[in-house]
Amino acid sequence: RQSRSFSISAGNSFTWDDVFRVPESPQNDDSALSGFFDKIKLCNRDLEKQCEFLPFVIEDQIIGYVHHGFADFLKPFQNVFIFPQDNTYGSHFGCYCTLHPNLSTPNDRTKAVANVVKSLGELIPGIRNELFPVASAFGEHIFFCTGTSCCAILWDKGLWSSYEWLS
85 DSSP 8-state letter: B
Assess whether 38 and 58 both reside in one domain. no
Tell me, yes or no, whether 147 and 78 share the same domain.
yes
Q: Are 154 and 66 in contact (CB under 8 A)?
A: yes
* Residue 35 lies in domain: 16-44
Contacts of 53 (CB under 8 A, 6+ apart): 65, 66, 67, 68, 159
Report how many domains make up the chain. 2
Residues 141 and 118 in one domain: yes
Residue 70 confidence (pLDDT) above 80: yes
* Dist. CA 80–CA 75, nearest whole Å: 9
- What is the mean predicted confidence (pLDDT) over 78-104? 90
Read off the pLDDT of each residue in 87-116 and give the average, rounded to a whole number: 90
Q: Does residue 114 share a domain with residue 84?
A: yes
Better pLDDT: 32 or 19? 32
pLDDT at 100 over 90: yes
The residue with greater pLDDT, 14 or 82, is: 82
Judge if 138 and 61 occupy the same domain: yes
Q: How far apart are the first and last CA of the chain?
A: 42
Examine the domain organization and report whether 77 and 142 are in the same domain: yes
Summarize pLDDT for 108-127 with one digit per residue, the tens.
999 999 898 888 877 776 67
pLDDT one-digit tens code per residue, 139-161: 888 898 887 766 666 555 433 33
pLDDT at 167 exceeding the cut of 70:
no
